[in-house]
Amino acid sequence: MKERKANILKHVVTDYVGTCAPVGSKRIAERLGVSPATVRNAMHELSEEGYLEQPHTSAGRVPGDPGYRFFVDYLLDEYRAAEEECRGVQQSLDIIRFKLEQLFEKASELLSEMGDCLSFVAAPGEDMSRIARIELTAVSANGLLIILVMSNGLIENRLVELPTHADRLPLKHLAKTLNERLAGLRLVEVTSGALAAAVRDVRISEELLYGGLKRFFEELIFAFGRKIYFDGTAKLVRHPEFQNVGAMGQVLELIDSAESGSEMFETRDSGDSVSVVIGRENSLGALRECSVVKSCFRFGDQTLGAIGVIGPRRMDYARMIWLVRDMAGALSHALDKYPRL
C-alpha cells in the first residue's frame, strides 16, 4: 500500500476508535495538509479494496476488518505505558498467595478494569500434569490433611473429616502405597478402581476410601479441569456496538458454553506473543463483531493457560496488546511464587 493511503487509513482507524463516528475527508485533509479531494479519492480506493466501509451514502468512512488487520500488522505504534500502570498489575497479583482460583479471578478482574472490555482467563487443564507425590497427615482426631504435589510443582491440599480416628490409621504405609500406585498418573486416571487397587493391601474401610480419598480426588479433578474466568460483561454492554440485544446475546451464550470447548480458549504455546483476531476472522459466529486479543501464560514448566480480552473491533489495539502481554507476564510471575515443594 502506498504511504499516503496507509497514512489516511491510519487516521481513519485512530479517529474512529476514539469517536465511534464515521470519519470524513475534511478532518483528515486538514490534519495532513492536503486537499479534501485528495483524501476523498484515497478513501474511495480504500473502500474499493475493502479496507474502509461507508455505513450510509452521505456518511464518512469506518474501518472494515481488512482495514483493522492492516492497521494492526503494519501501522500500529507501540503503546507507551505509564509507570503506575506497569507497577499496579504486578503488585495486585503478587499479594495473592494461596488460592489459584483467587489469582485467576483477580487477573481477569484487573484486565477487564484496565481494558474496559470483557476479559477471560482460561486456566490450564490437568491433562498435562501428573501426580508427583501424595502426603497424608493426621491433624486432629478425625481430621486428615491430604497433600498432593503435581509434576509441575503445584501443590493442592484438603482437610478431610473422616468417620474414624485419623491418628489410628496406618498413614505412612497408606501414603507409601498410594505413591507407588498413583505417582505418574494424571488426575483423571485416578478412578474408583485405581484407588481400590492402591489400598487393597492396606486395612482401610470402604467408608473411608469413598468418603475421604475418593472425594478428595473428585474435587481435584474438577478443580484442575479447564475453567474459564470471565469478568466485565457490564463493561462490554456499554460499548455502542453491543447496545443491540442480539449481538450481546450471542456473546453471553458463548460465555455460558465456553467450558464445553472452544478453540478461542485453547492454550497452545505461543511464547510471549500476542494474537489478535478481528471480526470475521473469528471462527465463532458470536464473535464476528468482536476482536479477541489473547496471549498465554506459563503454569509451571509444562502447562499453559490463556488470558485475553473480547471487545468491539473498534478498540485501542496498541494498548490492548500491551495490556494482555503485560498481564500474561505478571500472571506467570505470580504463579512462580505459588507454594511449591
Residue 325: pLDDT band with limits 50, 70, 90: very high
Q: Taking residues 268-276, what's their average pLDDT?
A: 75
Mind listing the pLDDT tens digit for each residue in 217-228? 777 765 666 678
What residues does CATH 3.30.390.60 cover in the chain?
127-224
CATH classification number, 3-75, choose in 3.30.70.20, 3.40.50.970, 3.40.50.170, 1.10.10.10:
1.10.10.10
Which of these ranges, 81-85, 178-182, 328-332, has the smallest mean pLDDT?
81-85
Taking the alpha carbons at both ends of the chain, their separation in whole angstroms is 56
Look at residue 13 and tell me whether its pLDDT is greater than 80: yes
Q: Band of the pLDDT at 39, cuts 50, 70, 90?
A: very high
Beta 274-278 vs 290-299: how paired, if at all? antiparallel
Q: Domain 127-224, CATH 3.30.70.1230 — does that match?
A: no
**In the chain, ranges of CATH 3.30.450.40 domains:** 83-125+226-336
Q: Are the C-beta atoms of 276 and 252 separated by less than 8 Å?
A: no
Find the mean pLDDT for residues 270-281: 85
Q: Across residues 293-297, what is the average pLDDT?
A: 91
CATH architecture of 83-125+226-336: 2-Layer Sandwich (3.30)
- Between the alpha carbon of residue 30 and those of residues 33, 38, 60, the distances in Å are 5, 11, 15
Domain with CATH 1.10.10.10 in the chain: 3-75
* The predicted structure's pLDDT at residue 302: 56
Q: pLDDT at position 341, please?
A: 41
Q: What are phi and psi of 340, to 5 degrees?
A: -135, 160
pLDDT band at 50 (very low <50, low <70, confident <90, very high): very high
Confidence band for 130, pLDDT divided at 50, 70 and 90? confident
Give dist(CA 131, CA 188) in Å, integer: 11
- Which of the residue ranges 26-30, 44-48, 144-148 would you say has the lowest mean pLDDT? 144-148
